[in-house]
């Protein structure tokens, strides 16, 4: 049978050992926090770019394809080559020239009116939809969508496009963050080339 005196003696000895342990300490001290130094050293190895920091809302965690230059740095266009067409400025559209187009968002299952001076991404967000994006400047493909009705250039115009190739646009892909409607169409958001 268990002796009550033995159990009490064991409990007292245990409490004394614990008290002595905490009183004397272990002598262990934590190492210096070097996390900030590591972050700064890693950041110093990354080259500076003109791209804005992504908001990490794109599919796959952010980031995106960088723009591919048309030629070597400083190279001039050869005869017969045309300079890349700059995007248009939606702010140049006068209030009396604003037009509205029916845009069907296939995955969201709704059709909404989008003004020709409003991006497809902004219109979708105004409806409360959580559409993917990262840079919001046409420099990645995080916000890409596919127009199912045909080539993208027949239905939208980009204010800036540094990521999509001509064949991507022929397949109906557009960058919703810088795409403005010019006709009615159906789009599947979150589709990348």
- pLDDT surpasses 70 at 15: yes
Residue 72 lies in a domain: no
Residue 93 lies in a domain: no
Q: Which two tokens stand for residue 190?
A: 């979150």
Domain that holds residue 117: 51-66+98-193
Residue 73 lies in a domain: no
Q: Between residues 156 and 51, which one has the greater pLDDT?
A: 156
Name the domain count of the chain: 1
Q: What is residue 50's predicted lDDT score, i.e. its pLDDT?
A: 63
Residue 128 lies in a domain: yes
- pLDDT surpasses 90 at 109: yes
- What is the Cα 107 distance to its own chain's centre? 19
Average pLDDT over residues 128-149: 91
The CA distance from 65 to 140, in Å, is: 5
- pLDDT surpasses 60 at 131: yes
We report the CATH number of the domain holding residue 152 as 3.10.20.30
In the chain, the percentage of residues whose pLDDT exceeds 90 is 47
Q: What is residue 168's predicted lDDT score, i.e. its pLDDT?
A: 92
25-39 pLDDT per residue, tens:
777 788 888 988 888
Q: What is residue 51's predicted lDDT score, i.e. its pLDDT?
A: 56
- 124: buried, middle or exposed (CB in 10 Å: 19+, 13-18, 0-12)? buried
- pLDDT surpasses 50 at 84: no
Residue 132 lies in a domain: yes
Residue 56 lies in a domain: yes
Residue 151 lies in a domain: yes
Q: Which two tokens stand for residue 119?
A: 């991006």
């Amino acid at each position: 049978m268990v002796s009550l005196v033995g159990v009490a003696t064991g409990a007292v000895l245990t409490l004394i050992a614990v008290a002595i342990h905490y009183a004397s300490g272990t002598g262990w001290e934590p190492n210096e926090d070097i996390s900030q130094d590591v972050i700064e050293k890693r950041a110093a190895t990354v080259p500076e770019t003109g791209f804005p920091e992504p908001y990490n809302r794109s599919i796959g965690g952010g980031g995106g394809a960088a723009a591919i230059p048309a030629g070597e740095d400083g190279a001039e266009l050869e005869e017969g080559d045309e300079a890349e067409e700059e995007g248009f400025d939606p702010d140049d559209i006068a209030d009396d020239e604003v037009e509205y187009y029916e845009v069907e968002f296939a995955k969201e299952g709704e059709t909404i009116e989008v003004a020709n001076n409003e991006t497809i991404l902004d219109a979708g967000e105004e409806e409360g939809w959580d559409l993917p994006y990262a840079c919001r400047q046409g420099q990645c493909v995080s916000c890409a969508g596919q127009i199912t009705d045909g080539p993208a250039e027949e239905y939208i115009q980009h204010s800036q496009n540094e990521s999509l190739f001509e064949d991507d646009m022929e397949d109906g892909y557009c960058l919703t963050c810088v795409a403005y409607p010019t006709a009615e169409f159906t789009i599947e958001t979150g589709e990348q080339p």
